[in-house]
Amino acid sequence: MSFLFMMILTGCTSNDASKESSKKHTTELTISAAASLQDSLVDLQTIYKKEHADVTLQFNFGGSGALQQQISQGAPVDLFFSAAQNQFDALIKDELIEKKHGIDLLSNELVLVVPKDNEKKIHAFKDVTKASKIALGTPEVVPAGQYGLETLKKLKLWTTLEAKTVYAKDVRQVLTYVETGNVDAGIVYKTDALTTNKATIIATAKSEWHTPIIYPVGIIKDSKHMEEAQAFYAFLQSEKAMKVFEKYGFKGAN
- Domains of the chain by start residue, with CATH: 2-107+214-252 (3.40.190.10), 110-209 (3.40.190.10)
Query: What pLDDT is stored for residue 65 in this prediction?
Result: 94
Predicted pLDDT at 32: 98
Q: Kindly tell me if the per-residue pLDDT of 100 is higher than 50.
A: yes
DSSP-assigned beta bridge partners for residue 28: 56
pLDDT value at residue 9: 46
Provide mean pLDDT across the span 60-84.
96
| Whether pLDDT at 55 is above 60 | yes
pLDDT, residue 238, reads: 97
* Segment 26-54 mean pLDDT: 96
Which has the minimum average pLDDT: 23-37, 117-131, 209-223? 23-37
171 labelled binding-site residue? yes
**What distance in Å separates the CA atoms of residue 216 and residue 6, rounded to the nearest whole number?**
57
232-235's contacts with Cβ under 8 Å and 24+ in sequence apart are 232/29, 232/31, 232/48, 232/55, 232/57, 232/78, 232/79, 233/79, 233/101, 235/44, 235/48
Q: Is the pLDDT of residue 90 over 70?
A: yes
Candidates 230, 189, 218; CA nearest to 90 is 218
In DSSP terms, 62 is beta-bridged to 34
Q: Is pLDDT at 3 greater than 90 in this prediction?
A: no
Of 81, 46, 58, residue with least CA distance to 240: 46
Identity at 38, one-letter amino acid code? Q
Residue 22: per-residue pLDDT: 43
The H or E element that residue 9 is part of is helix 2-24
Distance of alpha carbon 91 from alpha carbon 104, whole angstroms? 14
189 annotated ligand-binding residue: yes
Average pLDDT, the chain: 92
The mean pLDDT of 218-224, rounded to a whole number, is 97
Q: What is the mean pLDDT of residues 65-79?
A: 97
Average pLDDT estimate for 236-246 = 97
When pLDDT is averaged across residues 80-88 and rounded to a whole number, the result is 96
Annotated binding residue at 64? yes
> How far, in Å, are 88, 219, 247, 251 from residue 85 at the CA level?
5, 15, 23, 16
Q: How confident is the model at residue 254 (pLDDT cuts 50, 70, 90)?
A: confident
**Amino acid code (one letter) for 202:** I
Q: Are strands 134-137 and 165-168 parallel, antiparallel or unpaired?
A: parallel
